[in-house]
Structure 1
Amino acid sequence: MNELQIGLLIVAITTIVLFSGFPIAWGLALVAIGFLLVFKGPASLAVVATQFMDELNSFALLTIPLFVLLGAAIGVSAAGKDIYESLYRWLARVPGGLIIANILACGMFSAVCGSSPATAAAIGKAGVPEMIRRGIPPALATGAICAGGTLGILIPPSITLILYGIATETSIGRLFLSGVVPGILLVILFSAYACFAMFMERRGLPRVEETFTLKEKMEGMFRVGPFLVIIIAIAYFMYGGLATPSEIAGVGAFMALILVMTIYRAWRPRQQWLIFRDTVRESSMILMIIAAAALFSYMMSLLYVSQSAAEWLVALKMNRWVLLFAINIFLLVLGCFLPPVAIILMLMPILTPVLEANGFDLIWFAVMLTINMEVGLITPPVGLNLYVLRGVAPEVPLGTILRGSMPYVFIMLAFMVVLCLVPGIATWLPDTLMGKGH
């Protein structure tokens, strides 16, 4: 068998193993070990433990459990409800103000969390029942938070961007900066759609507005204030060049723990146990996938599959934009079945040389890839955020949640086209603050 035939066999077997429900980390490791054994013999297995440990022996990986701890600390409290309620008091007179408040809350929560499922769960747990109680159609209520939750992998600190930086050896600081402007623009676009959809829904009906005094609005801001402090502190230390991403993750996690212990009284042993238990679970899962993906990539490289695939793509000599379109279609399909972590760690070692050979900026592509993965989070059959919302709002059918999410899918796809036409949306901020280069 030649290298490309071996590669097709690897794709087929990996697809079967992962779709069988086998844990991703063990599935990747099993496939890698199996192909090493068959094509390189038992002696090749001597490197398995070394590959696992070498990949995890990276200081950059320290950011992952620390940012996960930050998100877990915020997630165990009533922070999500406080954020959207505080924002709603300022937006009560705007059509769809409560929906917009939840979308903005998703954006803010993402900026201190970095995880899409955690964002969707934290905001949705309080936001969806409240929106439905106040007469907002279930599809609009769940769709907004389902889509807003995806911002957790784009707005920094994003665990997905950290993994992308590790896989492509690009600056995590630059990647974080590249997600800021696109993240803000998507929040604005999501909010604009929510305003329009609610206006059309209530057209011709008498408006019932809640009113809040300035005192009530300011009371809500006192709850939001600490989150703004964490966001500003992370931004100041990172973008001011005062600390590394790992150090910033440590500072952010410490501040989040102090916040939930003082404001939300989450100092009891059981509450602290939940925080650290969830942190260990999610961190271990991510780190095991990273280690298994490294072994998988080593196997593909040793069998010369990665190099052959890259050479084949370059040899096609297709137009660079046609190539980009084909890559994005492939990623969209893959994103419907696999989580972003697995896709990035499996594919970026192959795609990186192809993208560079065709003159694409890896920082810019990180944003394209992340938005692509966001679409996968709200489309079946995997669509993790769909099931997160189904869990926090069991009374809403999955079909209704999906129907409410679809307009946001089209918004994100359109935004990807705009990003191709105006790449500066992603690259302007990192180039301005950190200078050009990677």
Structure 2
Amino acid sequence: MISDPLILSIVIVIIMFTFLLSSIWIGVSLILTGIIAMLIFEHNLPPTLSIFDKIGDLLASSMYDSLNSWSLAALPIFILMGEILYKSSISTRLLNGLTPWLSFIPGKLLHVNVVACSLFAAISGSSSATTATVGKITLDELQKRGYSKSLALGSLAGSGTLGFLIPPSLIMIIYGVLSNVSIGKLFMAGLLPGLLLATLYSIYIMIASRVDSSVVPVEENKYTINDYLYSLKDLFPVFTLIIVVLGSIYGGLATPTEAASLGVLGAVILATYFKSISIDILKNALLNTIKTSVMISFIIVGAGFLSHVVGFLGIARAISEFIGAMGLSPFMLIVIIGIMYVFLGMILDGISIVVMTLPIVLPIILFAGFDPLWFGIFLVFMVELSQITPPVGFSLFIIQSISGEKIEYILKATLPFFLLMIVAVVLITVFPEIVHFLPQYMTAK
């Protein structure tokens, strides 16, 4: 009988990769992996019911637990907003308006993903919603204009994860509740690291465009002051919509879900103002919203079921306890825990990672002398990494559904941004003041 948690983990990952590479639907692959793991390692499960009763009960409960979340209600609404902006001419107008302003920056419109994801992250608090909405608006437009598909996909995958780091953030709320850390301070602490990560992405895009000029189309346009002023008529309505949605959240006037509804209303008003909306556009936007939302929900169900199976087999807890017993130095401990979270990100969704490991990991972190506020931001970075770590990287799956590209191509495009995220983790570890500055500054005031 196999009971070693490391061996269990390796077997589960091999099974999962086998299914995913066989072109079976992602949600089905995750569910099948969980079922097979339960059948193989039945001896590790509580001997209360027959194995098939256990599978049925666990699948039903995990489906309910995964989807019974009010925070998920914002997801389809934000996707609908993005669909309306995309199906009408508003997304084209946005990029047309940004073109003169970004023309002098190396990489030009490739920075749109970084800027748009940073702004939308502050609206939705969801990595999935950020990636899906911005991807719907930008990917086709960038490809039509001759920009590098690889760099567009990679920047979207990396920037989409900012939905967890730039407040409001669901992961920060969960961590704050479980660790008894102020959620308000967590929100403030996440802002500078989020901007740091976005800046690293933009710097990489600048360097990549200098090294390989083919990633950006050749444009000989010279823009005048009138061009800059004229572009404002395309930018002003869209930025007004963003300010209204953001302002309603930060002003305490609306929840993210209510703000998403406000955003849909604003998108319809803008599309009507620009005379670029019709019944067919609305119908297609609704149908695509349903398809994307169901796809994401199916993946969430599959990941939720697999997370429950991993929990039943005791893998996450066993690995956490093993690390805690190694007696490492504080910084070596952080390195090992970081590697553990990257590995767990291959088989668990972000919320499950936090909930299943924090009761074991947090006491070890506190004993080693690390600040729980800082560790909260570190943990959010680890969850972000899990979003673009195969095979359970939600952002990768969402981008695959939007772009139609093979997962191997998306992984290759995402790798530089994955490494940049690790660089950001190293920076906040070496310079924890990046995390503490805003909470200390606001407290001092």
Question: What TM bracket, shorter-length normalisation?
Answer: 0.7 to 0.9
| Code of the aligned partner of 1:232 | G
In the other structure, the counterpart of 1:150 is: 161
Which shifted more, 10-19 or 312-321? Answer: 10-19
How many Å separate the matches in 2 of 1:339 and 1:278? 18
C-alpha change, 1:99 and 1:433, in structure 2 (3 Å) is same
Q: Please say if 1:41 is aligned against 2:47.
A: yes
Equivalent pair of 2:186/2:373 in contact (CA under 8 Å): yes
1:399, distance to aligned residue in structure 2 (A): 5.8
How many Å separate the matches in 1 of 2:155 and 2:347? 22
Equivalent pair of 2:117/2:131 in contact (CA under 8 Å): yes
Q: Please say if 1:260 is aligned against 2:267.
A: yes
Counterparts of 1:330-341 in structure 2 under 5 Å? 330-336=340-346, 338-341=348-351
Equivalent pair of 1:335/1:376 in contact (CA under 8 Å): yes
Q: Please say if 1:405 is aligned against 2:405.
A: no
How many Å separate the matches in 2 of 1:400 and 1:101? 21
C-alpha change, 1:233 and 1:430, in structure 2 (3 Å) is farther
Residue in structure 1 matching 2:78, options 61, 67, 71: 71
Q: Please say if 1:323 is aligned against 2:333.
A: yes
Q: Please say if 1:201 is aligned against 2:212.
A: yes
1:36, distance to aligned residue in structure 2 (A): 9.1
Instruction: Give the SS at the match of 2:251.
Output: helix
1:188, distance to aligned residue in structure 2 (A): 1.7
C-alpha change, 1:154 and 1:306, in structure 2 (3 Å) is closer
How many Å separate the matches in 1 of 2:33 and 2:160? 27
Q: Please say if 1:347 is aligned against 2:357.
A: yes
C-alpha change, 1:163 and 1:74, in structure 2 (3 Å) is farther
Residue in structure 1 matching 2:234, options 215, 219, 244: 219
Residue in structure 2 matching 1:426, options 407, 424, 435: 435
| Code of the aligned partner of 1:209 | N
Instruction: Give the SS at the match of 2:123.
Output: coil
How many Å separate the matches in 2 of 1:367 and 1:262? 38
Equivalent pair of 2:82/2:137 in contact (CA under 8 Å): no
How many Å separate the matches in 1 of 2:266 and 2:155? 27
Equivalent pair of 1:313/1:354 in contact (CA under 8 Å): no
How many Å separate the matches in 1 of 2:409 and 2:306? 36
How many Å separate the matches in 1 of 2:210 and 2:101? 18
In the other structure, the counterpart of 1:369 is: 379
| Code of the aligned partner of 2:267 | V
1:294, distance to aligned residue in structure 2 (A): 6.9
1:296, distance to aligned residue in structure 2 (A): 6.4
How many Å separate the matches in 2 of 1:82 and 1:109? 18
In the other structure, the counterpart of 2:274 is: none
Instruction: Give the SS at the match of 2:424.
Output: helix
| Code of the aligned partner of 2:423 | A
C-alpha change, 1:129 and 1:11, in structure 2 (3 Å) is closer
Aligned residues: 418
Which shifted more, 209-218 or 168-177? Answer: 168-177
Instruction: Give the SS at the match of 1:263.
Output: helix
C-alpha change, 1:138 and 1:111, in structure 2 (3 Å) is same
Gaps of 5+ in 2: 20-27, 272-276
Equivalent pair of 2:245/2:260 in contact (CA under 8 Å): no
How many Å separate the matches in 2 of 1:177 and 1:194? 27
C-alpha change, 1:306 and 1:152, in structure 2 (3 Å) is closer
Give me the CA root mean square deviation: 4.5
1:325, distance to aligned residue in structure 2 (A): 0.3
Equivalent pair of 1:84/1:123 in contact (CA under 8 Å): no
Q: Please say if 1:90 is aligned against 2:69.
A: no
Which shifted more, 36-45 or 328-337? Answer: 36-45
Percent of pairs identical after alignment? Answer: 25
Instruction: Give the SS at the match of 2:204.
Output: helix
In the other structure, the counterpart of 2:366 is: 356
How many Å separate the matches in 2 of 1:283 and 1:399? 23
Which shifted more, 276-285 or 342-351? Answer: 276-285
Equivalent pair of 2:118/2:166 in contact (CA under 8 Å): yes
C-alpha change, 1:352 and 1:189, in structure 2 (3 Å) is same
Residue in structure 2 matching 1:185, options 183, 193, 196: 196
Task: State the Cα deviation string for residues 207-242 of structure 1 (Å, max 9, x = none).
Answer: 6235334022243222221112212332232xxxx8
Task: State the Cα deviation string for residues 65-99 of structure 1 (Å, max 9, x = none).
Answer: 24324422323222555554443342223222211
1:416, distance to aligned residue in structure 2 (A): 1.0
In the other structure, the counterpart of 2:131 is: 120
How many Å separate the matches in 2 of 1:140 and 1:38? 44
C-alpha change, 1:34 and 1:379, in structure 2 (3 Å) is closer
In the other structure, the counterpart of 2:147 is: 136
How many Å separate the matches in 2 of 1:338 and 1:83? 36
How many Å separate the matches in 1 of 2:109 and 2:85? 17
1:255, distance to aligned residue in structure 2 (A): 1.7
Instruction: Give the SS at the match of 2:161.
Output: helix
Residue in structure 2 matching 1:228, options 243, 249, 254: 243
How many Å separate the matches in 2 of 1:330 and 1:57? 25
In the other structure, the counterpart of 1:251 is: 258
